[in-house]
Chains A and B, each alone.
Chain A
Amino acid sequence: EVQLVESGGGLVQPGGSLRLSCAASGFTFSTYWMSWVRQAPGKGLEWVAKIKNDGSEKFYVDPVKGRFTISRDNAKNSLYLQMNSLRGDDTAVYYCVRGGEVVLRYWGQGTLVTVTS
């Protein structure tokens, strides 16, 4: 069974940083693209970033370019999202998702990031 478990969310002040993690299990992590998708409270879904299976290619949505960095450790079956210069509109539930090229197939339960002073 595919499992994706996010962690690292919490309360952070504007301008601050946070690192999200996603522990993957139930599939061969090193063979899949992985993505992060977020959902602001009461709002719709927004794709944030994706990374190729070997980490050689990364893509981002425009609002987070230069502030967020997606990375992975295939030896640890883990995906990460380093978020810097956080703003209020980054407040959202962040989902770890398996996929990035053809389909966003499996989703974790999400971790809440709240940016507030």
Chain B
Amino acid sequence: QSALTQPPSMSGSPGQSVALSCTGTSSDFGIYNRVSWYQQPPGTAPKLVIYEVSNRPSGVPDRFSGSKSGNTASLTISGLQAEDEGDYYCSSYTSTNTWVFGGGTKLTVL
């Protein structure tokens, strides 16, 4: 199972919006809407911020939103804050009942 494709790095200034992309194949995104996003600040465990494409777990600020179009999913962070800095990973459930992750995007808040 090939990994999902994410840009290695992105940056934005405080207050700006940034959209992180995640590209897969029809066998990843085409069958299920089980696309998730995880935030991982340096030295910590990943934390779920979006699940099933656009759902936000309780406690996650509404500045975080998710969407999907075709074989590309996106995580948009609006009103960027310094605490949003870290690595972001997308994941998708696959047609073989397994999970696949993207390579991760390192988000820098300038």
A residues near B (Cβ < 8 Å) are 35, 37, 44-47, 50, 59-62, 95, 100-110
Contact = CB atoms under 8 A, between A and B. Distances in A.
A103 B45 contact: no
Q: Which of under 10, 10 to 19, 20 to 34, or 35 or more describes the interface residues of B?
A: 20 to 34
B103 to A, nearest CB: 5
A73 to B, nearest CB: 23
A37 B91 CA distance: 12
Contact of A44 (B1, B96, B99, B104): B104
A48 B20 CA distance: 25
Nearest to B50: A103
B29 interface: no
Interface string B1-43: 1010000000000000000000000000000001010100000
Contacts of A102: 34, 51-52, 93
B101 A44 contact: yes
B66 interface: no
Contacts of B89: 44-45
B43 to A, nearest CB: 10
A47 B100 contact: yes
B47 A107 contact: yes
Given A95-B46, A107-B45, A108-B45, A44 B51 contact: no
A65 B110 CA distance: 43
A103 B48 contact: yes
A53 to B, nearest CB: 15
Given A44-B3, A59-B97, A109-B45, 8 more contacts: A37-B99, A44-B102, A45-B91, A59-B98, A95-B45, A95-B46, A103-B48, A110-B45
